[in-house]
Structure 1
Amino acid sequence: MLNPRATNEDLTAKARIRNAAMDLFAQYGESRVSLRAVAAEAGVTLGLVQHHFKTKAGLREAVDQLVSEYFYQAVHSVPNTGTPAEVAGARDEAVREMLRENPAVVNYIRRAVLEPEPARLKFLERQVELVRSEVVALREAGLASTSRRESTQVVAVLVRQFGELLLAPMIDSVWQMVTDEPDTAKPRLTVTVEE
């Protein structure tokens, strides 16, 4: 899978600033991070941050776009071959793998979804639109049911992909409390949608 973040050696100053912002927002939350802190983390001046992104809102928009690109790349790394269940399962696994490899993305999403503020709704709206466009494409390709409502499919995908991500810390803690065998496979979240 293509890494939307690339490596620091390959990046422009603008991309380094965006990446530093994602790391800091993921770790501390956007409200606790100043543009000056982002500049310091990226190794650039505050003026350069303001030149490229104008405001913190502009910087947040760039980070939201980067995180959406991670999901887009993960989903599109899976060919549309096989049964609908196989394609859906492979896409979910590609997203899980991307999240395992990118802890800053995980933490950023947790903060964006669990610390709601009006400006954060844009991130969720972007993810909904990404999933909706994928559902439509799969339905048109005959790889997703057309007998289920499109809205139900969108919600099911988001819950499958974000549900496990958001509940993982709680599941890990509970698993440690209730099992005497920490090396055994822990339970996974599953979604069942009733029509």
Structure 2
Amino acid sequence: MQDDLEEVRRDVIGRLSQAANDRKSAMHTPVFATADADTRILVLRAFDDEQWTLRFHTDSRSPKVSVIESDPAVSVLFYDREEKVQIRCRGVARIERSSVAADTAWQQSDNYARRCYLGSGPSVLSDEPTSGLPEWIEGEKPTDEQLAPARENFAVLLVEIIEADWYHLAHDGHRRALVKPGGEAHWLTP
């Protein structure tokens, strides 16, 4: 049980770092909410513990992109059921389509992941169940050359964390704290 605010800060940083680097981490796939109160599960790709920035990948044609560009206020909810720790991050999001971060993320992705950006954009109506991928690539690993047109649909979604609300459920008394990137931290009643 953490009873020190600096321990809580280290716990937040440690959990977000692990979530970004370990796909088996309970916090690897948080709930992401845009300002219009729409939620979805995203995969956390990176956490910069110096800038307190989260990185996700997205299709630039996704409806959430226009919402973020209109109102960048977002929240990201992480939860570890076994350890009973919740981290609610409030932040400001931005979409980067052609930045160094976007180019690097694209280059580091494998071709199976990149192929998701080849097909129809997210939320396109269909008369039948579909992956959205072109038929010629279903179940196949595309070449770099085949993926060239997909790059224009790929973007990174970066979230600058403004504050993280850390909550630990415990039989001997819950603990809750609010931590901010610059070092400010406060205990809160659960």
| TM-score range normalised by the length of the shorter chain | under 0.3
Q: Identify the structure with the greater strand proportion.
A: 2
Indicate the structure whose relative CO is greater, using CA pairs within 8 Å and at least 6 residues apart. 2
Q: Identify the structure with the greater helix proportion.
A: 1
TM-score under structure 1 length normalisation: 0.27
TM-score under structure 2 length normalisation: 0.28
